[in-house]
């Protein structure tokens, strides 16, 4: 199957997944910590089933330290995203989440000696402009608590990508996903032991929206990683994946009725997409 088909499936699945995450966390009484842990456990199960057919391998010794770092970054990054989506709209979080790319570029410049071109710098400006536009109200720029959580989640995810590139050099993606998800859940359970009571309560009757979100997220992840194993460039898949931002804004307006300030959101989504294309 051509990498463009994989990319299109990744975009659609991830965009629809964002809608179900918002539906799960909109419910009164939904707990971000418990939901994040349950999501990671579900993700480990779903991707673990895939490895039954593709083959499973344990992590080599040289990636264990990196896996622990990933567990922390993706664990807390995911938690911040779950906290954010509880209070802000899915469309806004999709746009703010693009800041993760900015963090990745900056860290690549600092730690990997990758130099910024004029085009890439322009891309960073576009992304920052989108954040300002989406959060500009009544002649002032303000960030809500949910927006700060989204930016923190993006920063953690953007940092994790740097370590991802190292792990995937030595460890197959199909095995990495279930192992990484289980490790993330384990780190969060150790970090928040008091949440175990809530997890035991909620896991007996897991929200169907959270289950659908987990399945779609797992599918989107596999559609991203599988073509990479066949030689497709990360830059190609990542660039195409940015269409998710615009599609999430459209789907949120249709299915979640998130139509307030829709003009600003569309402009922000377009600026973000242009910015990431320039960076890639």
pLDDT tens-digit readout, 257-279: 888 888 888 888 888 888 877 77
The tens digit of pLDDT for each residue in 93-104 reads 988 888 877 787
- Round to whole Å and give the CA distance between 19 and 5: 22
Between helices 3-26 and 243-255, what is the axis angle to 10°?
40
**Closest-CA residue to 276 (of 80, 12, 148, 94):** 94
State the pLDDT at residue 22: 93
Residues 172-176 have a mean pLDDT of 89
Both ends of the chain: CA-CA distance in Å?
Answer: 24
37: alpha, beta or left? (left if phi > 0; alpha if psi -120 to 50): alpha
State the pLDDT at residue 169: 83
Between helices 173-191 and 208-229, what is the axis angle to 10°?
140
Tell me what the pLDDT averaged over the chain comes to.
86
- Round to whole Å and give the CA distance between 268 and 263: 9
Query: What would the 3-class secondary structure string for 126-167 be?
Result: HHHHHHHHHCEECCEECCCHHHHHHHHHHHHHHHHHHHHHHH
Share of the chain above pLDDT 70, in %: 90
CA dihedral (82, 178, 241, 1) positive or negative: negative
221 pLDDT band (50/70/90 cuts)?
confident
228 class by beta-carbon count within 10 Å (0-12 exposed, 13-18 middle, 19+ buried) = middle
Q: In this structure, what token pair is assigned to residue 25? A: 């966390």
State the pLDDT at residue 238: 65
- Round to whole Å and give the CA distance between 231 and 192: 40
Residue 85 in contact with residue 73, Cβ under 8 Å? no
Residue 248 in contact with residue 89, Cβ under 8 Å? no
**Closest-CA residue to 265 (of 83, 130, 103):** 130
Per DSSP (E only), the strands in 12-147 are: 136-137, 140-141
20 pLDDT band (50/70/90 cuts)?
very high
């Amino acid at each position: 199957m051509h990498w463009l088909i994989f990319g299109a499936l990744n975009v659609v699945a991830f965009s629809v997944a964002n809608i179900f995450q918002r539906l799960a966390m909109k419910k009164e009484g939904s707990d971000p910590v418990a939901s994040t842990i349950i999501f990671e456990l579900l993700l480990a199960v779903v991707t673990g089933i895939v490895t039954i057919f593709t083959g499973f391998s344990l992590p080599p010794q040289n990636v264990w330290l990196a896996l622990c770092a990933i567990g922390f970054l993706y664990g807390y990054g995911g938690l911040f995203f779950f906290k954010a989506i509880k209070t802000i709209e899915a469309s806004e979080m999709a746009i703010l989440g693009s800041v993760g790319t900015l963090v990745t570029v900056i860290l690549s410049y600092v730690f990997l000696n990758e130099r910024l071109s004029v085009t890439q710098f322009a891309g960073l400006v576009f992304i920052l402009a989108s954040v300002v536009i989406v959060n500009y109200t009544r002649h002032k720029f303000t960030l809500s608590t949910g927006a700060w959580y989204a930016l923190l989640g993006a920063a953690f995810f953007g940092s994790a990508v740097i370590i991802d590139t190292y792990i995937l050099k030595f460890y197959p993606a199909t095995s990495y996903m279930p192992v990484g998800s289980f490790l993330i859940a384990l780190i969060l359970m150790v970090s928040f032991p008091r949440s175990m009571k809530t997890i035991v309560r909620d896991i007996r009757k897991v929200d169907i929206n959270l289950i659908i979100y987990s399945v779609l997220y797992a599918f989107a992840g596999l559609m991203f990683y599988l073509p990479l194993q066949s030689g497709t460039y990360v830059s190609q898949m990542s660039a195409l994946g940015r269409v998710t931002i615009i599609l999430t804004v459209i789907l949120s307006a249709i299915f979640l009725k998130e139509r307030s300030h829709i003009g600003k959101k569309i402009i922000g989504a377009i600026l973000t997409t242009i910015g990431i294309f320039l960076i890639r």
